[in-house]
Amino acid sequence: MKITMIGTGYVGLVTGTCFAEFGHHVTCVDKLSDKIDRLLAGEIPIYEPGLEALVAKNSQEGRLSFTTDLGKAVAGAEAVFIAVGTPSSRRGDGYADLTYIYEASKEIASFLQGYTVIIDKSTVPVGTARQVARIIKEVNPEADFDVASNPEFLREGAAIADFMRPDRVVLGVETDRAETLLRAVYQPLYLQETPIVKTSIETAELTKYAANAFLATKISFINEMALLCDATGADVVALARGIGMDGRIGAKFLHPGPGYGGSCFPKDTMALMRIAQENGESLRVVEAAIEANGAQKAKMVKKIRDMLGGSEAGKTIAVLGLTFKPETDDMRDSPSITILPALLEKGAVIRAHDPQGMEEARQLLPDSIIYTSNSYEACKGADAVIIMTEWNQYRALDLERLGSVMKQKIFIDLRNVYQPDLVKEKGFRYDGVGRS
Ligand code: UGA
């Protein structure tokens, strides 16, 4: 099948490449000629494990191409996916900014040839697909097309595996023709018996937000439980096992930490709250999850301060991990963006390391941060070390070596990666999240 992917951001690039891997012929389009030039040269603009090899393979085999020429890419395509960005609006009110979606719809319209399905892949508020249809009809009343919504549930860092083995595929369609075509797009998942959930277009649009909001709520719930564990002397890791083994609750997304971040949960929970308000409803649980997430970061600053004896002024803090999660270079809404400036403001000196995120971190974090080449460098002369992101290389640190270069042996494990007793045995004072 001939597929066009509009937008080569994270979602567009991963999805387009994986469709090509399925055997479809995919053209990825982007307005940024720099980006397209880099992709044509085999350079991948984001860090996503396995993506570079998959792009190279499918480009070489002639199923994947990149262009800035939208007209050529759309002409003759059977499925056109819109995967452009939907950032939070610049007004700062939490609404999703749909400018790029509507621009893309206008541009696609005049190039459509034959029956085409235009599919929203981006995370968009309820009603967006209908607006896309309206725009296309306005520009090209003759066009033979349907719109559909097919939200993505990929996680950064595990996107290819998530794409190839999804828990489900959600198809929001309203004609048999569109359904048949989209089922054909996902036909390669048939052998794995991947469930296809067919819904109305509005339901599919809302399902994406509901999934992210539920996961964000689950994290905020366990983060609050961790705070209660800290206050009562209980252990949240055991507690999470104790509740997670109940099939109705589920063990995933019950890892407490410094708060959720990334390009999705913070933006999508806010957008969902706004969608509800616009429709005369209030999602109090989601609102509370957002608030708890903000509070969690502030609590982490306090935890660090307490471990340092009540003040971070003049103390050197080693921070391991800056990205919002491991296996990505993405710093968007990372907890480190809130926590580190708060420590610096009170006079701390910060020595940081991240395997992939330091380049982006330099643009977003205060200049005074000292970036180092590895964990042990970061810990030189430090009063405390903080595990901020659970990268694999921080999971088995040589604690004796670490301790030998530090000024004070204080270990603050904001991802609960270490067994407290093992760290304490090496002479450290240890604190995790909900493990006191
Ligand atoms: C999330 C969803 O998991 C995907 O299903 C969805 O497709 C994607 O958003 C999106 O909308 O595009 P992602 O943001 O890549 O994926 O990352 P997650 O693995 O979900 O982690 C999000 C944040 O939650 C991270 O900061 C992570 O550290 C935190 N987290 C996650 C926890 O603090 N505890 C957990 O147990 C799980």
Give pLDDT tens digits for 28-37. Answer: 999 999 999 9
Q: Give pairs for 163-166: CB < 8 Å, separation 24+.
A: 163/14, 163/15, 163/18, 164/18, 164/21, 165/192, 165/194, 166/194
Mutate to test the pocket of ligand 1, among 155, 205, 394 (most ligand atoms within 8 A of CB): 155
Q: Is 28 an annotated catalytic residue?
A: no
Which residue's C-alpha comes closest to atom 30 of ligand 1? Answer: 260
**So what's the pLDDT on residue 91?**
79
**So what's the pLDDT on residue 271?**
94
**So what's the pLDDT on residue 96?**
81
Distance from Cα 155 to the centre of ligand 1, integer Å: 6
The ligand 1 atom at the shortest distance from the C-alpha of residue 208 is 11
Mutate to test the pocket of ligand 1, among 10, 121, 215 (most ligand atoms within 8 A of CB): 215
| Structure tokens belonging to residue 291 | 């608030």
Neighbours of 104 (CB within 10 A): 24
Distance from Cα 59 to the centre of ligand 1, integer Å: 29
Which residue's C-alpha comes closest to atom 35 of ligand 1? Answer: 253
Taking the C-alpha atoms of residue 327 and residue 389, their distance in angstroms, rounded to an integer, is 10
Non-local (6+) Cβ contacts of 206 within 8 A are 126, 275
Taking the C-alpha atoms of residue 412 and residue 321, their distance in angstroms, rounded to an integer, is 13
Taking the C-alpha atoms of residue 277 and residue 431, their distance in angstroms, rounded to an integer, is 40
Tens place of pLDDT per residue across the chain (436 aa): 999 999 999 999 999 999 999 999 999 999 999 999 999 999 999 999 999 999 999 999 999 999 999 999 999 999 999 999 888 887 778 788 899 999 999 999 999 999 999 999 999 999 999 999 999 999 999 999 999 999 999 999 999 999 999 999 999 999 999 999 999 999 999 888 999 999 999 999 999 999 999 999 999 999 999 999 999 999 999 999 999 999 999 999 999 999 999 999 999 999 999 999 999 999 999 999 999 999 999 999 999 999 999 999 999 999 999 999 999 999 999 999 999 999 999 999 999 999 999 999 999 999 999 999 999 999 999 999 999 999 999 999 999 999 999 999 999 999 999 999 999 999 999 999 999 7
**So what's the pLDDT on residue 391?**
98
**So what's the pLDDT on residue 295?**
98
**So what's the pLDDT on residue 328?**
93
Which residue's C-alpha comes closest to atom 29 of ligand 1? Answer: 260
Mutate to test the pocket of ligand 1, among 88, 154, 167, 206 (most ligand atoms within 8 A of CB): 154
Taking the C-alpha atoms of residue 185 and residue 165, their distance in angstroms, rounded to an integer, is 15
Which residue's C-alpha comes closest to atom 36 of ligand 1? Answer: 253
Distance from Cα 278 to the centre of ligand 1, integer Å: 26
Which residue's C-alpha comes closest to atom 19 of ligand 1? Answer: 155
Distance from Cα 263 to the centre of ligand 1, integer Å: 9
Distance from Cα 170 to the centre of ligand 1, integer Å: 19
* Strand partners of residue 200: none
Which residue's C-alpha comes closest to atom 11 of ligand 1? Answer: 264
Distance from Cα 76 to the centre of ligand 1, integer Å: 36
Which residue's C-alpha comes closest to atom 34 of ligand 1? Answer: 255
Q: What is the DSSP letter of 277?
A: H
**So what's the pLDDT on residue 191?**
82
pLDDT tens for residues 356-407? Answer: 999 999 999 999 999 999 999 999 999 999 999 999 999 999 999 999 999 9
The ligand 1 atom at the shortest distance from the C-alpha of residue 335 is 26
Residues within 6 Å of ligand 1 by CB? 123, 152-156, 212, 215, 219, 253-255, 257, 260-262, 264-265, 324-325
Q: Quick check: helix, strand or coil at residue 290?
A: helix
Distance from Cα 324 to the centre of ligand 1, integer Å: 9
Whether 108 contacts 69, CB under 8 Å: no
Which residue spans of the chain are classified as CATH 3.40.50.720? Answer: 2-195, 215-431
Distance from Cα 180 to the centre of ligand 1, integer Å: 31
pTM assigned to the model: 0.95
Q: Domain spanning 2-195 has what CATH number? A: 3.40.50.720
**So what's the pLDDT on residue 379?**
98
Which residue's C-alpha comes closest to atom 1 of ligand 1? Answer: 155
Q: Domain spanning 215-431 has what CATH number? A: 3.40.50.720
**So what's the pLDDT on residue 331?**
96
The ligand 1 atom at the shortest distance from the C-alpha of residue 261 is 26
Among the listed residues 18, 28, 229, 264, the single catalytic one is: 264
